């Protein structure tokens, strides 16, 4: 099945989904953050068909989130490592952990984010690095960026006016 190409859309959410919006890709990235790098490690961890894994790894490499590096010449063997763009995906995965634990784990959390120093679980919030304030609906809103289309600008103005009413 051919997926829609979101790369030309001006929305950063749509563009991001175009790179990692398929669940296998996100799970591969998760496993890469766990330290897996080799094809057979991903295959074993995910219990994914080799042809599907090949396609997903190729997509992540093409999308700039992973790099394919040769680690053995005889026989030729490759590993897959996160690029800067791939490493920058970590906050998205952390948000999945927090949201999943809060809304989809009635039996309790199976994965926590904890302090290396204290071992205590983190209370994850998205924070504005400029002010140090938690980003919330009361203090923050969506606004058009410099490359926003007229349609996006109009939509955001309308949404923000409704929020103030």
Work out the pLDDT band at 21, boundaries 50, 70, 90: confident
Looking at every residue in the chain, the average pLDDT score rounds to: 92
Tell me how far CA of residue 164 lies from CA of 148, 151, 152, 157, in angstroms. 22, 20, 18, 11
pLDDT at residue 13, as a whole number: 85
Work out the pLDDT band at 2, boundaries 50, 70, 90: low
Work out the pLDDT band at 95, boundaries 50, 70, 90: very high
Report whether pLDDT(16) > 80: yes
Higher pLDDT, 143 or 15: 143
pLDDT at residue 80, as a whole number: 98
Report whether pLDDT(20) > 90: no
Work out the pLDDT band at 89, boundaries 50, 70, 90: very high
Sign, CA torsion 112/113/119/124 = negative
Q: Please return the burial class of 63, using the count of CB atoms within 10 Å of its CB with bins 0-12, 13-18 and 19+.
A: middle
pLDDT at residue 3, as a whole number: 65
CA distance 112 to 104: 14
Decide: 94 and 121 in contact? Cβ < 8 Å: no
- Per-residue model confidence as pLDDT tens digits over 106-146: 999 999 999 999 999 999 999 999 999 999 999 999 999 99
Question: Percent of the chain scored above 70 by pLDDT?
Answer: 98
């Amino acid at each position: 099945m051919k997926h829609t190409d979101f790369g030309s859309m001006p929305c950063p959410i749509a563009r991001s989904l175009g790179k990692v919006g398929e669940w296998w890709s996100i799970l591969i990235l998760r496993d890469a953050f766990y330290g897996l790098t080799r094809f057979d490690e991903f295959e074993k961890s995910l219990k994914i068909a080799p042809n599907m894994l090949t396609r997903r790894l190729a997509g992540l490499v093409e999308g700039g989130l992973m790099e394919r590096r040769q680690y053995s010449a005889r026989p030729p063997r490759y590993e897959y490592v996160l690029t800067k763009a791939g490493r920058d995906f970590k906050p998205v995965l952390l948000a999945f952990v927090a949201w999943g634990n809060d809304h989809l784990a009635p039996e309790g959390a199976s994965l926590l984010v904890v302090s290396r120093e204290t071992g205590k679980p983190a209370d994850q919030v998205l924070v504005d690095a400029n002010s140090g304030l938690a980003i919330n609906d009361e203090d923050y809103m969506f606004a058009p960026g410099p490359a926003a289309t007229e349609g996006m600008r109009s939509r955001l103005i309308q949404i923000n006016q409704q929020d103030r009413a």
